[in-house]
Amino acid sequence: MKINVYDSPLTTCRSLIEYIIERLSNHPDKVFNIAFSGGDTPLLMFDLWANEFADATPWERIRFFWVDERCVRPESIESNYGQMKRVLLDVVNIPGENIFRIRGEENPVYEAARYSDVVMRELPVIDGCPVFDIVLLGVGTDGHTSSIFPGQEHLLSSSHVYEASVHPSSGQKRVAMTGFPIFKARQVIFLVTGKNKAQVVDELFLRGDVTPATYIARRAQKVELFLDKAAAGERE
């Protein structure tokens, strides 16, 4: 697990974008299948990407998938796709055929099955599992990642690619990437910023499989953390 710590959320997000662009430039003939998480943390990254790196990014070589989605309409402020659409997808020149959204407006069980089929069709498959080049994860203050919440650990060992899940406090229905494709991904990147994440970041290093995020961080291949100092606590 490689740890990168930066001064602020801004420099953390900027460094992550630069890292992804470097990966693209190191593989000029490759199209990258990247699954993005939602929530607040990556919004700064998407906004920065649109405003500072639009011309530096070969958008035609990135195919956009989602790690998870809230079961709301795409226009909702809650929608992970809708949020990225507002700040990035509608701002830069990304080919429409490169965008594979989870349809949050559909029945979650059916949509989890549909989207699993889409990902199986669009990605290379190894040992029955679709292989993403990068899965970009966040971590909730309760240690959830994707929309795999504490108490829903069965999603970590599911043989399905996506499954329906539920936010334990709000009851909001979700479609979530399971542990199956996360563990098989060529690279898993955690983007975690803010003092309120210091505890869950600490758990990534010190404790056992206390949360879905720690379970994944300890088992996924090639895990890299992009943290700001506030989330990294005293760990430099």
Q: Where do contacts with ligand 6PG occur on this chain (CB under 6 A)? A: 37-41, 67-68, 70, 80, 138-140, 144-147
**How do strand 162-166 and strand 223-228 relate by DSSP bridges?**
unpaired
* Complex with ligand 6PG: residue 61 or 187, whichever CB lies closer: 187
Q: To the nearest whole angstrom, how small is the minimum distance from the Cβ of residue 36 to ligand 6PG? A: 8
Residue closest to ligand 6PG, measured at CB = 138
Length of the chain: 236
Q: What is the 3-state secondary structure (H, E, C) of the chain?
A: CEEEEECCHHHHHHHHHHHHHHHHHHCCCCCEEEEECCCCHHHHHHHHHHHHCCCCCCHHHEEEEECEEECCCCCCCCCHHHHHHHHHHCCCCCCHHHECCCCCCCCHHHHHHHHHHHHHHHCCEECCEECCCEEEECCCCCCCECCECCCCHHHHCCCCCEEEEECCCCCCEEEEECHHHHHHCCCEEEEECCHHHHHHHHHHHHCCCCCHHHHHHHHCCCEEEEEEHHHHCCCC
Q: To the nearest whole angstrom, how small is the minimum distance from the Cβ of residue 28 to ligand 6PG? A: 30
Q: To the nearest whole angstrom, how small is the minimum distance from the Cβ of residue 104 to ligand 6PG? A: 10
CA distance 100 to 86: 16
* Complex with ligand 6PG: residue 116 or 193, whichever CB lies closer: 193
* Complex with ligand 6PG: residue 139 or 220, whichever CB lies closer: 139
Q: To the nearest whole angstrom, how small is the minimum distance from the Cβ of residue 182 to ligand 6PG? A: 12
* Complex with ligand 6PG: residue 5 or 45, whichever CB lies closer: 45
42: Cα separation from own chain's centroid: 9
* Complex with ligand 6PG: residue 20 or 35, whichever CB lies closer: 35
* Complex with ligand 6PG: residue 62 or 84, whichever CB lies closer: 84
Q: To the nearest whole angstrom, how small is the minimum distance from the Cβ of residue 55 to ligand 6PG? A: 27
AA identity, residue 20:
I
Q: To the nearest whole angstrom, how small is the minimum distance from the Cβ of residue 122 to ligand 6PG? A: 20
* Complex with ligand 6PG: residue 107 or 172, whichever CB lies closer: 172
Q: To the nearest whole angstrom, how small is the minimum distance from the Cβ of residue 60 to ligand 6PG? A: 25
